[in-house]
Chain A
């Protein structure tokens, strides 16, 4: 069994995946934020493992990563924080998102063992090449029942999308357009829709979530027309900036998207 599969089986439409950076705004917000997001109605939770040089991320997530690292966040601290999370949040799938270097330094096998023990269900490492995944990581991920999630962009060639779909047993992460996380959609009208429809018409085996540039109720609902759901990250991070009660602010944010 895997909680990601269960989430998509239970609910076929309008799934909301919320990203936040572990250790932001303060070091021990991680667990309260997971609980708050889950209670407020997030269907999946993606926990960012902060990295000094997050190449695929825009300024908002970069800044939150810098704060989190300064707060003392690292993988050991994160796994320690998560060790009892499945007692309070038994069902909501948890994905760990980050960059390859910290995982390599921790040791891939160690990382997967600790992640699985902490109750994680999926892993997103944008700079892990597909060929390297197949050659060195797939077997380790499988052994720990961790599902990889790969990104697809408007430039990803159809045969490559098929290959990614074959290697995936969770969901496909559709990057909404050119750019890093948190950017606005600057594409000409119809371009984005045509891309989403082209992917939809491929009849892929995995469900799809659309991410990058989704930040409020309107953009969430729009994305949900073309996929099983959407991913929001930067907009939540922005909503947590400078607040006294991060879990309460997170709940308000999720409500504003869903209601």
Chain B
């Protein structure tokens, strides 16, 4: 089969990126998943249960909202895909609902997850509560501090939150610890990865489960603008799950400009950044060959972003391919610009976005979109979890 942007090769490659570089201890689990995910997801009962949960539990379809005041300010036609209105406050739950159903069919009884901003951890803890499954979430110690409300939410939902104390004590290290847990519990445990990262089939699995975002966008755009295809789709990228979902059904539509927005931290070349498409080179992280931030010896370097969800030294292999092939345009946004975008969206549209999402909003003035262009921004999450940060930087924001 010819690989496309939507469909990796049988061994999980998008161009030169992807694959499954895992120790033997993980091989049986990952191989089982690889052999079964497509057939399980194609089962009518799976689809029925998944669609029903998306509708009645997650609250889908999420609205596509015409942001008139932002549109006036940027002199273009801006639509916000309201993933912030999903149950638990972000797009992450689209994936966890699907993966918990998959885990049940694989006979697993124990769920582990990694989390950065805590949104994926909360979304995992939520579906575990719903299904009565044991749930352990690994979270970097630094992230536990800067996303405290989400730590309490996970605990309230019955999950155990374990601090990742190694390395930079952020998302990369939480992922390492989750992988080590899976190595130690190879039989009863399913690892719900939260982004389009990790060994094949995870990038494809998570992209398919998030693809509902762009599937809905097409229908809603047709209704609201008369065309299924916008001129721009904009999304923030850490690992890249919300961007994968927002891009998915536009990947093979060359007229649609895909814009991925990374976190530049204090500045792309400041030494405190997470702009992987600029700073990264091909290498292996978390079982996948992709672009990652590393030194000349191949040691993975510490990323930085004010936003815990974007503070990751790699990007999913699909995004590495989109960057490499120039199918998507990558823009980097600094902390301060993201904070300003939080205030702007809050005041112009009455919507307080998550810090991650704010990076996508902050890219609006760099798109070059004209007055008749339709721009869809994936509003991936709401800002409640970031209130403490917003209070701390009130002077910069207001």
Contact = CB atoms under 8 A, between A and B. Distances in A.
Nearest to A156: B24
B167 interface: yes
Interface string B285-309: 1110000001011111100000000
A132 B287 CA distance: 13
Contact of A127 (B23, B184, B297, B301): B23
A62 B299 contact: no
B183 interface: yes
Interface string A90-107: 000000000111111110
Interface residues of B, number: 34
15 contacts: A51-B299, A52-B300, A53-B176, A55-B287, A74-B297, A101-B294, A102-B297, A104-B284, A105-B283, A105-B296, A129-B21, A150-B24, A157-B28, A175-B24, A179-B183
A126 B26 CA distance: 10
Contact of A128 (B11, B21, B29, B300): B21
A128 B25 CA distance: 12
A131 interface: yes
Nearest to B292: A101
A75 interface: yes
A204 interface: no
Contacts of B186: 153, 155, 178
Contact of A156 (B20, B27, B176): B27
A62 B286 CA distance: 16
Contacts, number: 101
Contact of A102 (B23, B180, B298): B298
B185 interface: yes
B180 A105 contact: no
A178 B25 contact: yes
B396 interface: no
Interface in A106-132: 106, 126-129, 131-132
Contacts of B297: 74-75, 102, 105-106
A153 B22 contact: no
B385 interface: no
Contacts of A157: 28
A150 B27 CA distance: 13
A151 interface: yes
A58 B298 CA distance: 20
B326 to A, nearest CB: 24
Contact of A53 (B20, B24, B172, B187): B172
Nearest to B29: A155
Contacts of A75: 297
B180 A55 contact: yes
Nearest to A59: B166
Contacts of B280: none
Given A105-B294, A180-B180, A127 B25 contact: no
Interface centre among A51, A102, A106, A152, by most B CB within 10 Å?
Answer: A102
Given A105-B283, A105-B294, A129-B22, A52 B299 contact: yes
A241 B321 CA distance: 44
Contacts of B240: none
Interface string A68-81: 01000011000000
B116 interface: no
Interface string A46-74: 00000111011011001000100100001
A104 B176 contact: no
A127 B285 contact: no
A4 to B, nearest CB: 19
A183 interface: yes
Contacts of B383: none
Interface in A5-52: 51-52
Interface string B149-186: 00000000000000000110000100010011001111
